[in-house]
Chains A and B, each alone.
Chain A
Amino acid sequence: MTGRTVRVTVNGVAYERSVEARRTLTDFIRDDLRLTGTHVGCEHGVCGACTVLLDGDAVRACLLLAVQVDGREIRTIEGLERDGQLHPLQEALRDCHSFQCGFCTPGFVMTAVALLEEGATPTEEELREELSGNLCRCTGYQSIVAGVSEAVRRVNGDGGGASGDARRVEEISR
């Protein structure tokens, strides 16, 4: 099987690799780019652990082929901190003790980052619906919902855009 060249920007860094057509984006990110923050769970689109942002949209990396992201922009969990400071979402999740074993964490975080960057102010019911594509086997979800709700309040509360956290989310999203 001949290799195909993929040029992609991940967290603002340009990469070029030669891959097989069947290489999933998950394996490309973890094994070819050595960015192991993106976790791989079910490999068939059920668990959400491999969620990354493709041109700003949350997607399952295991259901994309690396050859399909040629010329596109990917963001992973490694792209969230700035100068040693966590993303406002990560701070809120830490403050709410949102995680236990941490395996599902990167997927939840990237799903919720997409939500925050859209300026969403979901009700708890809507938030649970938005997060329902990510599986967690430890927490029972209460603490995760609490953490994301807290982040929504800090970032998009009061109409959004005004707080320091909102400015930081905007800056990191660029």
Chain B
Amino acid sequence: MKPAEFEHHAVDSVEEAVGLLTELADDDVKVLAGGQSLVPLLALRLASVGHLVDVNGVTELATIADGDGLAIGATVRHRQVERSPEVAAANPLLAAAVRRIGHAAIRNRGTIGGTVAHADPAAELPAVLTLLDGSVEVRGTGGGRTIAAADLFDGYFTTTLEPEELLTAVHVPALPAGTGWAVQQFSRRSGDYGIVTVLATLALDGDGRISAARVAYAGVDAVPLRSPVAETALVGQTASAELWTAVGHDAAVVLEPASDLNGSAEYRRHLAATLTARALQQASERAGVRA
């Protein structure tokens, strides 16, 4: 199908974008970045807009800065992150997660800021931010603010951004040296959103005990979730296949996923348990080695 009529505004600066978002606030205005989710919604007429503010020409949003963690501009393409030597060095988990997004042609256009602002509960990047306590920078007419990942995702496809605010950058902490990591996902077809995605990081001390652990899920709730159950159960324990299986089970039984055409709640819990055990195994294998 074809999108319904709208006006298209190509902007060159964040100020211009925020100005238009404010001015057109009562006239169904949306930000257009990579368009890999928004344009299908428009084409299928699941969404309609009066105005699109196209930020693809805002050059200040298109760079990756590597300092205290990674600061990735909102319009940086997934492909750019996937191939960035800075990202590979600072946070290989991020690069691996991004590679799970869609297909090459989708990643050539899709943007980091777009996938975070879109907040699909099955999407990889919101889960990465949740796992690593990342944050986003947003700009409104009154200035800028930083929103921590824990305060950002507010429900299905919903964030705590104000309608006239523009997400300008995503901050992803670097993985501490020696931290093992894993991205485990199950989808029916290559390039689909994962039915369940599990992200994990593990650090081991000199005696082979787990000194730090993080586990997060996408696809099991309206927003990405950390697993306090898994994280608490892991720290202080010695790495073993039995531990991974037990933690996977305990973390999965407390999840309350929805049932839909892709799978029942029970099936999603089963996937979460299995993928958690695999993720922990893989993360433990990588711990101590900068992969």
Query: Hey, which bits of chain A sit against chain B, CB under 8 A?
Result: 1, 4, 20-22, 24, 27, 43-45, 48, 51, 54, 57-60, 62-65, 67-68, 111, 114, 128-130, 132-133
Contacts and interface: CB of A to CB of B under 8 A. Distances in A.
Interface of B: 1-8, 10, 35-36, 39-40, 42-44, 52, 54, 56, 79, 102-106, 108-109, 189-191
Contacts of B7: 21
Nearest to A23: B2
Given A57-B108, A63-B109, 17 more contacts: A21-B7, A22-B6, A24-B2, A24-B43, A43-B1, A43-B43, A45-B106, A51-B105, A57-B79, A57-B105, A59-B108, A68-B35, A68-B54, A68-B56, A114-B104, A132-B191, A133-B105
Nearest to B77: A57
B106 A133 contact: yes
B8 A21 contact: yes
A59 B109 contact: yes
Nearest to B105: A58
B35 to A, nearest CB: 5
Contacts of A60: 36, 105-106, 109
A63 B5 CA distance: 15
Contact of A45 (B5, B36, B79, B190): B36
22 contacts: A1-B5, A20-B5, A21-B6, A22-B3, A22-B4, A22-B6, A43-B43, A44-B40, A48-B105, A54-B108, A60-B36, A60-B105, A63-B39, A63-B109, A65-B35, A65-B39, A68-B54, A68-B56, A132-B103, A132-B190, A133-B102, A133-B191
- Identify whether the interface residues of B are mostly helix, strand, loop, or mixed: loop
Contacts of B191: 132-133
Contacts of A21: 5-8, 52
Contact of B35 (A27, A64, A132): A64
Contacts of A132: 103, 189-191
Given A45-B39, A63-B35, A129-B190, A58 B5 contact: no
Given A59-B109, A60-B106, A22 B5 contact: yes
A20 B103 CA distance: 28
Nearest to B54: A68
A144 to B, nearest CB: 15
User: Top 6 closest A-B pairs, CB basis?
Assistant: A133-B103, A21-B8, A44-B40, A132-B190, A57-B108, A22-B3
Contacts of A114: 104
Contact of A64 (B1, B109, B190): B109
A111 B107 CA distance: 13
A62 to B, nearest CB: 7
Nearest to A20: B5
Nearest to A46: B40
Contact of B104 (A45, A68, A128, A133): A133
Given A22-B6, A132-B190, A58 B40 contact: no
B108 A58 contact: yes
Contacts of A4: 8
